């Protein structure tokens, strides 16, 4: 959507947002939202931006806006997938600018969330990342440890790898507890495996939002999202709007969750 059309429609969207908020059932809000921030490169091409870095910067500004939207609704937990393990195979000329943008984001977050009762945690294979990026992530995590609302940032994350890591941790734990090798399988069930997932202290996501029109999880929270509701939004992440977010929340509150029954 071009800039002129966005400006014309902005007041209309504000009215629509107010209407959604007015009739939103606050007792049915999700406790945990997962987000796949997809579409940066396609957005850059569609908007004729000079490079992908410009799109990444737009996307990270949107990320900060999104934190504010979830704060308004007092959503207790959000998990944001900012970099997958598959993304790491992209050319260096694409990855290096994104790393720079992420570092800038992580350095700015403490000031932006000050006073908002938010803690930040990272999950994923940070050891696969350049030292400068993993250091920025660890510094942010150390600075934002106190807060009842949790922002989890999935970085160099893959859902299959998370399940593999959980299985390894569980087997190692059982061995340390003295369980005989031939009896270990008897101690592995969904509850014991769940307790070794990266964010085992969080409730499973109730709602997963993916932007850019793609209708797949691509490995995001494969274990935890088994009974989540999904919202696949057509717009690219940098142009994701508050009204898109509120519509996803409204639709969630109207859903009849059967948990596989």
Kindly name the residue from 25, 27, 38, 148 that is annotated as catalytic.
38
> For residue 1, what are the CA distances in angstroms to 45, 49, 217, 233?
13, 14, 26, 15
DSSP-derived letter for residue 49 is -
| Residue 38 appears among annotated catalytic residues | yes
Query: Which residue, among 24, 27, 36, 114, has the nearest Cα to 68 in the 3D structure?
Result: 114
Q: Is 87 a catalytic residue?
A: yes
* Per annotation, catalytic residue among 87, 104, 165, 204: 87
Torsion over CA of 160, 164, 170 and 172, rounded to 10 degrees?
-160
CA–CA gap between residue 83 and residue 170 (Å, rounded) = 26
Strands across the sheet containing 32-36: 118-123, 149-157, 77-84, 32-36, 207-210, 229-232
Q: Would you please indicate which residues are annotated as catalytic (active-site) residues? A: 38, 87
């Amino acid at each position: 959507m071009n800039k002129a059309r966005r400006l014309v429609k902005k007041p209309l969207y504000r009215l629509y947002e107010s209407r959604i908020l007015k009739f939103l059932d606050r007792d049915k809000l999700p406790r945990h939202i997962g987000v796949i921030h997809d579409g940066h490169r396609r957005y850059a091409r569609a908007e004729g931006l000079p490079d992908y870095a410009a799109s990444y910067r737009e996307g990270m500004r949107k990320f900060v806006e999104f934190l504010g939207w979830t704060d308004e609704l007092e959503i207790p937990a959000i998990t944001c997938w900012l970099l997958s393990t598959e993304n790491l195979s992209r050319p260096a000329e694409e990855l290096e600018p994104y790393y720079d943008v992420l570092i800038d984001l992580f350095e700015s977050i403490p000031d932006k969330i000050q006073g908002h009762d938010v803690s930040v945690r990272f999950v994923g294979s940070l050891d696969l990342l350049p030292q400068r990026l993993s250091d920025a992530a660890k510094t942010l995590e150390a600075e934002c440890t106190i807060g009842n609302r949790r922002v989890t940032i999935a970085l160099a994350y893959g859902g299959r790898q998370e399940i593999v890591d959980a299985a390894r941790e569980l087997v190692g734990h059982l061995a340390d507890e003295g369980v005989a090798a031939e009896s270990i399988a008897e101690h592995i069930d969904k509850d014991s495996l769940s307790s070794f997932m990266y964010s085992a202290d969080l409730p499973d996501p109730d709602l997963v939002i993916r932007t850019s029109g793609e209708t797949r999880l691509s490995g995001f929270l494969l274990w935890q999202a088994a009974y989540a509701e999904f919202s696949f939004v057509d717009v690219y992440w940098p142009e994701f709007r508050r009204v898109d977010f509120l519509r996803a929340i409204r639709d969630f509150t109207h859903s009849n969750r059967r948990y596989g029954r």
